[in-house]
């Protein structure tokens, strides 16, 4: 901290010569003039550093003791500005840099979406772009309450939205859910639920509407599963009125999904040759500048970007990266029958994992793995259980005529 203060105020390195140097030092101490890093040379001269304000107090002491003072070096911010007073472009650059930081800090350069699952981040960003909320927009034009209301109106599946500004970042926290009970809009369009695939119904839970098919029945794509038409009957079990509702049900169907995949017994494996090159890059918006060599054939390149961050929430629209290039050579190899089956099984497991991530259930696996001299073939089918039900408009029925009975 003391060094920083000295640099800010400026300090001078002096050389003192004379016959009464000891008396000169005693007088400096008596007047609380601090000389640091004092050093005595073989020729009898003394050197040390002191603050600029203390240097101007040495005149009376020099006349009293008869010593001579010579300025050796000048350091510190005041001397730097004095030496650079003709460098107008340098100071102009500092002012432009400060102005650029002030300008950038007044705009939004990072839009972050949190909590979304059904609605993709790219889809929400495109909607915000249509609303004029883009990267680089001024913070003064941001109205968090209006943004939250617009997102809720655009996406009914989003039940709660919170928009807040953190530095140069706009953060949208959303919660997705299903409207039930009092949250359901009062104005509903009557509709029925139709099958989206061919299959067999394994489970059905109806909350609104009339089920036309039941568990165990087979359905084809387009068949009505739950009708939105309600028949109101009298005591004689005659229909006297039709009412229309929005069908609501959880319907699960089971169907077979064909699977086929080939794994060659002979393949080319990339082996690291031991040669590695490093480079760097700078990304400014959509422009990328690289240095340290170009990408070559037979080399794999990996880039790790690091954004330029001034504070916790102040990210500049630029980043720097580290490029690592490694040389690989292709080597012909052949799998054993056991290795080929293991690879095929791992590929099948990864495929099943992707299906389950989409919300599908796998009830049975009928895939067989066979190996010949050239290829390992996985073929068969998977029995899938999937939720189905696509809303379709109801068919408006003609209201039955009122029947009257005549008394004899």
316/278 Cα distance (integer angstroms): 25
How confident is the model at residue 402, as a pLDDT?
Answer: 59
* Helix, strand or coil, per DSSP, at residue 250: strand
Q: How confident is the model at residue 187 (pLDDT cuts 50, 70, 90)?
A: very low
Closest CA to 252 of 178, 196, 209, 176: 196
For residue 236, what is the DSSP state?
A: T
Locus of tokens 């968090």: 144
Give the pLDDT confidence of 230-275 residue by residue, as tens digits: 878 777 777 777 788 888 889 899 999 999 999 898 888 888 877 8
How confident is the model at residue 350, as a pLDDT?
Answer: 92
Task: Average the pLDDT over 54-76 and give the result.
Answer: 86
Please tell me which residue, 313 or 354, carries the higher pLDDT value.
354
Task: Average the pLDDT over 88-96 and give the result.
Answer: 83
Query: For the chain, what is the largest distance between any 2 Cα atoms, rounded to a whole number of angstroms?
Result: 151
Q: How confident is the model at residue 349 (pLDDT cuts 50, 70, 90)?
A: very high
DSSP notation for 129-146: HHTT--TT-BGGG--HHH
Tokens standing for residue 328: 């690989």
Task: Average the pLDDT over 176-205 and give the result.
Answer: 71
* Identity of the highest mean pLDDT range in 75-79, 90-94, 119-123, 361-365: 361-365
How confident is the model at residue 315, as a pLDDT?
Answer: 65
The region of weakest confidence among 27-31, 233-237, 303-307 is 233-237
Number of neighbours of residue 231 by Cβ within 10 angstroms: 15
How confident is the model at residue 78, as a pLDDT?
Answer: 80
How confident is the model at residue 19, as a pLDDT?
Answer: 84
How confident is the model at residue 182, as a pLDDT?
Answer: 42
Closest CA to 71 of 15, 7, 9: 15
Residue 321 has pLDDT above 70, yes or no: yes
Residue 179 has pLDDT above 50, yes or no: no
Residue 186 has pLDDT above 90, yes or no: no
97/243 Cα distance (integer angstroms): 70
pLDDT exceeding 70 applies to what percent of the chain? 91
How confident is the model at residue 2, as a pLDDT?
Answer: 65
Mean pLDDT, the chain, as a whole number?
83
Residue 325 has pLDDT above 80, yes or no: yes
Please tell me which residue, 231 or 133, carries the higher pLDDT value.
133
How confident is the model at residue 347, as a pLDDT?
Answer: 93
Task: Average the pLDDT over 7-13 and give the result.
Answer: 82
Cβ atoms of 239 and 233 closer than 8 Å: yes
Residue 22 has pLDDT above 50, yes or no: yes
Task: Average the pLDDT over 314-323 and give the result.
Answer: 79
pLDDT exceeding 90 applies to what percent of the chain? 8
Task: Average the pLDDT over 262-291 and give the result.
Answer: 83
pTM over 0.75: no
């Amino acid at each position: 901290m003391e060094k920083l203060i000295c640099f800010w105020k400026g300090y001078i390195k002096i050389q003192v010569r004379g016959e009464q140097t000891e008396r000169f030092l005693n007088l400096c101490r008596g007047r609380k003039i601090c000389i640091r890093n004092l050093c005595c040379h073989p020729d009898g001269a003394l050197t040390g550093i002191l603050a600029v304000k203390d240097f101007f107090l040495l005149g009376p002491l020099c006349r009293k003791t008869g010593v001579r003072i010579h300025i050796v070096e000048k350091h510190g911010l005041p001397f730097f500005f004095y030496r650079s007073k003709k460098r107008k472009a340098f100071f102009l650059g500092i002012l432009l840099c400060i102005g650029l930081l002030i300008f950038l800090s007044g705009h939004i350069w990072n839009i972050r979406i949190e909590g979304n699952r059904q609605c993709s981040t790219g889809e929400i960003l495109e909607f915000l772009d249509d609303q004029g909320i883009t990267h680089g927009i001024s913070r003064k034009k941001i109205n968090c309450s209006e943004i939250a209301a617009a997102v809720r109106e655009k996406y009914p599946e989003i039940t709660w939205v919170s928009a807040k500004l953190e530095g140069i970042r706009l953060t949208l926290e959303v919660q997705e859910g299903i409207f039930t009970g009092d949250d359901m809009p009062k104005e509903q369009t009557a509709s029925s639920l139709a099958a989206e695939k061919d299959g067999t119904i394994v489970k059905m839970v109806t909350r609104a509407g009339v089920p036309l098919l039941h568990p165990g029945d087979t359905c084809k794509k387009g068949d009505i599963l739950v009708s939105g038409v309600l028949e109101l009957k009298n005591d004689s079990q005659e229909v006297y009125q039709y009412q229309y509702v929005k069908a609501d049900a959880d319907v699960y169907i089971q169907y077979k999904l064909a699977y086929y995949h080939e794994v060659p017994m002979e393949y080319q494996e990339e082996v690291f040759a031991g040669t590695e090159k490093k480079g760097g890059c700078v990304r400014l918006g959509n422009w990328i500048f690289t240095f340290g060599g170009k990408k070559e054939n037979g080399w794999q390149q990996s880039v790790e970007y690091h954004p330029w961050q001034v504070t916790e929430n102040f990210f500049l629209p630029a980043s720097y990266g580290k490029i690592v290039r490694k040389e690989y050579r292709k080597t012909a190899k052949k799998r054993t029958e056991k290795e080929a089956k293991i690879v095929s099984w791992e590929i099948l497991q990864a495929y099943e994992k992707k299906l389950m991530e989409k919300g599908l259930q796998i009830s049975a696996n009928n895939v067989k793995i066979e190996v010949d001299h050239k290829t390992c073939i996985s073929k068969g089918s998977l029995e899938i259980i999937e939720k189905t039900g696509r809303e379709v408009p109801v068919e408006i029925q003609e209201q039955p005529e009122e029947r009257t009975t005549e008394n004899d």
